[in-house]
Every structure is written in structure tokens, then in C-alpha cells.
Structure 1
Amino acid sequence: MKVDRCPESSRPKYDIAEIFRHSGEHFLNTHSASHGQVKVLNQIVACRTKALGGHIDFCTHCDHQQNAYNSCRNRHCPKCQTITKEKWLINRQSEVLPATYYHLVFTLPHDLNPVILCNMRSLLNLLFSSVSQVIKIFTSDPQWRLQGQAGFIGVLHTWSQTMLDHFHLHCLVPGGVLSEGKKTWTPSKKNFLFRTQSMVKAFKGIYIKGLRQLYNEGVLKFPGKTEIHGTPTGFKRLIKTIGKKKWSGHAKSPCSGPEKVLEYLGRYTHKVAISNYHIKSFENGKVVFTWKDRTQNNAIKEMKIDATEFIRRFLLHVLPRGFKKIRHFGFLSPRYKKNNIKLIRELVQDNSQEFTQPDIESLETMMQRLTGINILKIVQSAHLK
């Protein structure tokens, strides 16, 4: 049975495509949007409609057939991420190491938001490279008792709970390093990796240095409301402002055991700014959605905004074409991770899991695991009727 969607009963009542379809044209007539943002808007509207054509789903057990529309498969589309995320996590199962994993978060100050929105590719690349430098510095410093090559997975998020611009990087870091000659594996402490304040301070210095370099090279753009930062005086004022601020970040051990690590990682990898399940209503041009208030112990609250403002916020998080929001570093870099993971397991004498190609899970099995719904029975029942 070849189906790429949940059954009707599991679908949310409201979705982003409906909001785009109803208010997208008005938004484009009243707001500026990049080519990439317009493309995302159009693809989400067309997703699983006749605009993208269709195919025939068929059951290999009873030969039942039904027509279905194609998905847009855009990475910003909330309908097209669940299966993608599950396949990605399955491919990570053979890469989990026998180590304590740590969750690090590096957040950029909001004073930089207007500049980042005008220079997404360069300033978000700088975010990844700055974090990589920080981890390299700390894993080569004897005071942290880790001297060698670290590895980590970085996942970019660009939104806050209310869909506003909030640029931060989630990192999942195995607690340990490979020695320079790849002859030893040094594990970290069970409940401590690096001192958070020192790590964030180093990140702040490295990022500001990189920002200055990009400005001096003439790479940065300052159109519209951010043009004041493009002048020497304005840029100095911006650097002074973010330099005085205390940057935020944290480091904690999320969990132990391969299954828990993958479950934890899955919360961050293929998210979009908001899922359809958070949308509670869409009436009279107003959207109501739920969000978590981090300042009040993650209390669930509702927010009501105009549909055009909802679209504006959503499109803030459209990434540049070809930009990689999930990246692997150090001994987990794509070119070397297979050999490195095998070596680390040999060094710690852990033979519980070989680095093998994961089994291909059928779509029926995946849907049963994710939703608890047997899509074969649904189709067979429909066929009998």
C-alpha cells in the first residue's frame, strides 16, 4: 500500500494551507516577499491538491486502488515532514554511540534579527561555524579534561513559540573525544561537559569577530529599516549593543540509551515554525493558535492574530535555497563518521551495535507505529463497502 498521508480521522481540523489559500493573495498585495517565500506559499497551497497532479494508491493485499493527490515535499510544509523525519531518524539508529549525550543551545541576541533576515545565508553559516569553533576550543583545553576531536549534530531553529524570529542552534553532542591519532577515546564526566557561562562567552566573542569580518569584507546587506547599521557609526553602535548584552545558552544531559537519544533528537530535526495541530481556529480572517509560555512553566496559551500577520510570521522562517539546517561536525562529519563510529565502539569495547544499513520500514508499518492506525484495514474496509 503506497500512501504518504495520515487517514482522514487523524488530520487536524484547520491547516496552514487553508490560511494561505484564503489570505495569501491579500498578503502578497500588502507585503513584500522574496521569490523563495512566494514559492513556499504557493507550494503549501498546492500540496495534495490537483495542482500537483496525482497518483494511484494500491493495496498489495486486496488490489484495491484509489486516486490521491501528490505532496509538495517542501521542507517548510508541515504536512510533508513527519515521514521525512522518521526516515532520517531511522538512518541515525546505527550511529548512536555508547556515551552520555548532551544538549547544547546557542542563541543569538534579538538585536541582530533585522540584519540576519537580510543576510540569512552568511549570518546563519556564521552561527554554525562559530559553534563549531567553540566546541573545538573547549575540547582542546586541558581544564575540561577532554583533549581531542569532538563530534556533534547541529540543528538550526529560527522561531520562537509565537512564530517570531528567534535564531538559535540546538546541538546534540556525544560526551567524549577521539585523540589526535585516533588511538584513544576519552569520555566526559557523566553529568558535566563544559561550563555553560564560559561556553556562551566564548561563542559571543567568536560570533562578533566573524560579524566584524563580514562587514569589513562588504558582504553584509542593510536594506530598509536596517540601513542605519550599514554606516560605520551604525555598525559600531550595533556591535556595542550586542557586546554589552548577556547572550543566552544552556547545556544539559538530555537522556541516556540509544532509543531515548533518538527520541530526543527527533523533537528538533524536521520541525517547521508551527504545525497544523497548533491551529485551533480560522474565522473572519483571524487565526487562533496555541503556544507554550516558557516564562510560566511551559503553560499552554492561545494567541489570536490576523491571517496576514500569521503568514508574515510563518514566511520569516523560509531558509535560503540549498541551505542545510542539519549539519554534522567533527568525527560525525559525513565523510568520516562510519569509520569513526566503528573505531569508537572498538575502543570502548562496545559490540552491541554494528554500523549497518538500517532495515527499510514499510510505510504501513511506519504509519501503524506513528498513529496506531492500520491503514491496510481502512482500505480493505472501504473496498468491501
Structure 2
Amino acid sequence: MIRPKLELADIFRAHGPAWRQANAGHVSLGQLKVMSAIEACRTETLGGHVAGCASCGHHHIAYNSCKNRHCPKCQGPAARDWMAARAEDLLPVEYFHVVVTLPAEIAQVAFWNKKAVYDLLFRASAETVMTIAADPRRMGAQVGMTSVLHTWGSALTHHPHIHMIVPGGGLSPDGTRWVPCRPGFFLHVRVLSRLFRRLFIEGLLALHRAGALSFFGDLAGLAEAGAFAAWLAPLRKSEWVVYAKPPFGGPEAVLAYLSRYTHRVAISNSRLVSADDATVAFRWKDYRIKRGDRQRIMRLATGEFIRRFLLHVLPDGFHRIRHYGLLASAGRKANIGKIRALLGQSPAIAPPEAGAEPVPLTLREPCPCCGGPMRVIEIFRRGQKPQSRAPPRDQAA
């Protein structure tokens, strides 16, 4: 794969040290770790291996990845592996994409209470869909979903929202029938929005009573219960954004979509245009434009660009992909097997045994010169240099 002309790592390496010094005491340990990992990713700092082609003799050096979930370079392979595991879970039904968004006012609270509020966003959105779907007046079925948290807008602003991929139907209450939704229609978004608003506000009040929320700056006064209740009052009547996109074209389209969303980070390297001491330019979508080309170029001060990216560093151990209902991990395989039987679909082909691996030390990517198999011929550790003479992989490609 040819290396992009500009990467986030280049910006961090060139301007990160000065930014960290200027913001000392205002950067969390988690953010510092992310910057360090991205700067070291696929460099000799992390060690690596030398790969050789079994057919034409081509050699190149491949440095190790940082595997940090916020690193743009590491998410492609991670997404491929995750999607391979999910492919066997797909059902021969319509799939819908439901997006649940927090109001800007709530996003302010979420910024200082990421783990608590993001957890609540996951729980309330999943409970909303499962509750409405189970209503006999709607679908009357037990449903399942995969939920993915994104915390950014196209301009790197803080914009927490959940993407939910939901099969178009569910099991009957007694588990003996598959209940499909109406073709091309999942659930009324207005009904979803109202219930989500109520569940989320109730959950937020419970967090406040438990002392699980912190407030700073202009919001410091909300630590008092009466002030917080008064601040929430207008939000009980405002419209909360929940929308459902048209169904996907089929299981392949679902996989293609998921591969773009599950392991996405705040900005990909392909969106970067230029960077220097003063500014970083990147492509973004202006959603205020209803028709035509939404692509625009945004220029931010370099320090502001770094700050905005780091807004989206998640708490350690926080899971940004979760499964609920019929797709919850504990019963997913059994539920999928039951649904396939009810739909008359043959069981999915079992994945290969753990021992049925490709030839040891053979890489997934073929030789860039002839397409032959690439094998690892040398491994070097952190701080070591390879003995074999070969160009770095990006240059070789």
C-alpha cells in the first residue's frame, strides 16, 4: 500500500512536542499515550520484521504497528479482522441503520464525563429500540443490534452519537416465529426519539443523584440538584435527533458499511491536505449544504487541530462497539442459529479450526512486485536494526 503524502503521525512528530510543552498540565495521560503511540507507529521505534518474496526474491522492511484504536493507520487491518468474524452472523433479511444523537447541551456534560455519559448513551439507545420493537402495536418482536459510538463531527468538533445496525425483524415473544418489519420501514423515528429522550434524561438524573457527574467552567453551578433539574427542563420538550436510513441492499452492503464505521477514527490520513507550523488543512463535509458537493477544505491552527483530535480519545478500557438484544454476546450464536432455522437458511459454514492457519510466518499481503507469497525472514525488536538489507515497506511499495 502506498503511503499517503501526509499522515497524522507526521503532524504529531513535527508539532506534538511543542504542543505538549505549551499545554503541560492540561493534557490527560490517555491523550499523551495516544500521541506517543501514533508517533511511533510503523517506525523502527517499535521494531518489526523483514519480509521476502518466495518467488522473485523481493525484500522489504515492515515496522510494527502501534495497534492503538485511535491510530488511523492501524484501523484498516483491525476492521478487516472484525468484519471476518461478523460475516458469519449476517442474516438473510433487510438491515437498517439508526442514528441516535445527543443535543449539543448534553454533549457539553458528556465532554467532562465521557465514560458515564457515553455508557448511558449506549444503554438508553439500545433500550429504546428494543422497547419500541417489542410493543405489539409496533413490531411485537425481540430484536438485536450492533451499536458503534462516534464522538466527532466532520470538522472534528465534539458530537457524540450512536450508529446502530439492526436486522429488520426479530423473534416473537415465545421465540417460535420470525417477525419481519414492514418492507423498507423499521420503526417510527418520532416514537424512538421521544422514548430515547425520556430514558436518557432519567438516566442522567440518576447519575447526578449518585454524584457520578462532574461540572466545570460555565457549567459548575449544575452540581446543585435544583440548578441541574432547571437546566434539563427545556431539553424535556426539545426535539432529539433520531433518524433511520433506508435499508441496505443486502448482507454484502451491510459488511461494506460496517467496515467503514466500526473502526473509524476522528480523521483519516486521506482527508489531510497540508500541515505546517501555522495551520493544518483537511477535507470535511458541510452538512448545511443540502444538495451538490459538500466537500470543503477547513484550515485550523496546528495547535487547535491537535486539540480537536484529542477530544475524541476514549477512556481506557471503554468499548466503542457493543451488541444488544438477540445479538448480545452471551446468546448470539444460539439466537442466530434459531433465526436461520426459522428462515429456512442453511447454517453458516464453520470457521476453520485454530490449527488450520496459513503457512507460519507467511504474510496476508502478497509481494508488491509479482504477487507471490511474502514470508518473514527476520524479526527485530524495539531498538534493534535489521541485519538484512532491504528498503522500508512504504518505499518498496
Structures share fold, TM-score greater than 0.5: yes
Q: What does residue range 307-346 of structure 1 map to in structure 2 within 5 Å?
A: 307-346=302-341
1:326, CA displacement in angstroms?
A: 0.5
Alpha-carbon distance in structure 2 between the residues aligned to 1:20 and 1:357: 40
1:68, CA displacement in angstroms?
A: 2.9
| Change beyond 3 A, Cα 1:347–1:361 | farther
| Change beyond 3 A, Cα 1:12–1:182 | same
Q: Does 1:240 align with 2:233?
A: yes
Q: Does 1:66 align with 2:76?
A: no
| Change beyond 3 A, Cα 1:171–1:374 | farther
Whether the 8 Å contact between 2:112 and 2:215 is mirrored in structure 1 is: yes
Structure 2: gaps spanning 5 or more residues: 376-389
Bigger drift between 301-310 and 19-28 goes to 19-28
Secondary structure at 1:328's aligned position in 2? strand
Alpha-carbon distance in structure 2 between the residues aligned to 1:284 and 1:206: 46
1:152-178: CA deviations, max 9, x gaps? 000110000000000000000001111
| Change beyond 3 A, Cα 1:18–1:93 | same
1:62, CA displacement in angstroms?
A: 4.9
The structure 1 segments of at least 4 consecutive aligned residues displaced by more than 6 Å after TM superposition are 358-366, 372-375, 377-380
1:201-246: CA deviations, max 9, x gaps? 1101100000000001111111344322222343123312422421
1:124-152: CA deviations, max 9, x gaps? 110111012111211221111x2231110
Alpha-carbon distance in structure 2 between the residues aligned to 1:69 and 1:117: 35
1:256, CA displacement in angstroms?
A: 2.8
Secondary structure at 1:143's aligned position in 2? coil
Secondary structure at 1:254's aligned position in 2? coil
| Change beyond 3 A, Cα 1:225–1:17 | farther
| Change beyond 3 A, Cα 1:360–1:196 | farther
Alpha-carbon distance in structure 2 between the residues aligned to 1:349 and 1:220: 49
Aligned to 1:105: 99
Whether the 8 Å contact between 1:107 and 1:168 is mirrored in structure 2 is: yes
- In the alignment, which of 121, 128, 142 is matched to residue 122 of structure 2? 128
1:22-72: CA deviations, max 9, x gaps? 221222233311110110011101111222223222334456543332111
Aligned to 2:387: none
| Change beyond 3 A, Cα 1:171–1:236 | same
Q: What does residue range 288-367 of structure 1 map to in structure 2 within 5 Å?
A: 288-296=281-289, 297=291, 299-351=294-346, 354=348, 356-357=350-351, 367=365
Structure 1: gaps spanning 5 or more residues: 1-5
- In the alignment, which of 9, 21, 37 is matched to residue 29 of structure 1? 21
Aligned to 1:164: 157
Whether the 8 Å contact between 1:364 and 1:374 is mirrored in structure 2 is: no
Alpha-carbon distance in structure 2 between the residues aligned to 1:374 and 1:319: 40
Whether the 8 Å contact between 1:26 and 1:308 is mirrored in structure 2 is: no
Aligned to 2:8: 16
- In the alignment, which of 237, 244, 247 is matched to residue 251 of structure 1? 244
Please state which structure has a larger fraction of its residues in helix. Answer: 1
Alpha-carbon distance in structure 1 between the residues aligned to 2:370 and 2:312: 33
1:180, CA displacement in angstroms?
A: 3.1
Residue identity matched to 2:75: Q
**TM-score, structure 2 length as denominator?**
0.86
Whether the 8 Å contact between 2:37 and 2:68 is mirrored in structure 1 is: yes
Q: Indicate the structure whose relative CO is greater, using CA pairs within 8 Å and at least 6 residues apart.
A: 2
Q: How many residues align?
A: 370
Whether the 8 Å contact between 2:53 and 2:373 is mirrored in structure 1 is: no
CA RMSD of aligned residues (A): 2.6
Alpha-carbon distance in structure 2 between the residues aligned to 1:170 and 1:176: 18
Aligned to 2:204: 211
Residue identity matched to 1:270: H
Whether the 8 Å contact between 1:105 and 1:250 is mirrored in structure 2 is: yes
1:327, CA displacement in angstroms?
A: 0.6
Secondary structure at 1:14's aligned position in 2? coil
Whether the 8 Å contact between 1:364 and 1:375 is mirrored in structure 2 is: no
Alpha-carbon distance in structure 1 between the residues aligned to 2:113 and 2:227: 17
| Change beyond 3 A, Cα 1:49–1:101 | same
